[in-house]
Chains A and B, each alone.
Chain A
Amino acid sequence: MIKLIGILIIIVGFALKLDPIAVVVVAGLATGLTAGMSFNQILTTLGDAFITNRYMTVFFVTLPAIGILECYGLRERAAYLIGKMRSVTPGRLFVIYTALRTLAAALSLRLGGHVQFIRPLILPMAEGAAKNNYGELEEQDIEELKGLAGATENYGNFYGQNVFVASGGVLLIIGVLKELGFNVEALAVAKASIPIAVIAVIVSAVQFLYYDRKLVRKKKMV
Chain B
Amino acid sequence: MQNILLELLYVMCGIVSFIAAYYAFTGKGQECRIGTSLFWAILGLVFTIGRYMPKNVVGAMILVMAILAAFKHVRVGKFFTSSPEFKEKKAAEIGNKLFVPALAIAVAAFGIAQFTKLGGLVGLGIGAVIALLISFATTGARIDEATRESARLLHQVGPASILPQLLAALGALFNAAGVGEVISRGIGAILPADNITLGVIAYCVGMALFTIIMGNAFAAFAVITAGVGVPFVLNQGADPAVAAALAMTAGYCGTLMTPMAANFNIVSASILELKDKYMIIKKQIPVGVVLLIVHIILMLVFAF
A: which residues have CB within 8 A of B?
1, 3-4, 6-7, 10-11, 14-15, 17-22, 24-28, 31-32, 34-35, 37, 40, 42-78, 80-81, 106-109, 114-115, 118-119, 123, 143-144, 146-151, 153-155, 157-159, 162, 164-166, 168-173, 175-177, 179-180, 182, 184-190, 192-193, 195-196, 199-200, 203-204, 207
- Confirm or deny: B236 has a beta carbon within 8 angstroms of a beta carbon on chain A: no
Determine the distance from Cα of A6 to Cα of B221 in the docked complex, in whole angstroms.
14
Nearest chain A CB to B9 CB, angstrom units: 6
Known: A3-B182, A49-B173, A151-B287. A180 touches B230 (CB 8 A): yes
Determine the distance from Cα of A20 to Cα of B70 in the docked complex, in whole angstroms.
8
Please name 6 pairs of A and B residues whose Cβ atoms are closer than 8 Å in the assembled complex, sorted by A: A21-B160, A35-B179, A46-B58, A48-B55, A62-B105, A193-B249
Q: What's the interface size class on B, roughly?
A: 35 or more
**What total of A-B pairs shows CB separation below 8 Å?**
473
Determine the distance from Cα of A26 to Cα of B62 in the docked complex, in whole angstroms.
11
Assess the B245–A173 pair: CB atoms within 8 A. yes
Determine the distance from Cα of A144 to Cα of B103 in the docked complex, in whole angstroms.
34
- Confirm or deny: B22 has a beta carbon within 8 angstroms of a beta carbon on chain A: no
Determine the distance from Cα of A66 to Cα of B120 in the docked complex, in whole angstroms.
19
Assess the B124–A62 pair: CB atoms within 8 A. yes
Assess the A22–B70 pair: CB atoms within 8 A. yes
- Confirm or deny: B188 has a beta carbon within 8 angstroms of a beta carbon on chain A: no
| Chain B residues numbered 220-278 whose CB sits less than 8 Å from any CB in chain A | 221-223, 225-226, 230, 234, 239-242, 244-246, 248-249, 252, 255-256, 260, 262, 264-265, 267-269, 271-276
Assess the A53–B165 pair: CB atoms within 8 A. yes
Nearest chain B CB to A25 CB, angstrom units: 4
Residues of A within 8 A of B272 (CB): 114, 118-119, 123, 146, 149-150
Determine the distance from Cα of A99 to Cα of B42 in the docked complex, in whole angstroms.
40
Determine the distance from Cα of A69 to Cα of B268 in the docked complex, in whole angstroms.
25
Nearest chain A CB to B124 CB, angstrom units: 4
Cβ contact of B213, chosen from A11, A37, A55, A177, cutoff 8 A: A11
Determine the distance from Cα of A196 to Cα of B244 in the docked complex, in whole angstroms.
13
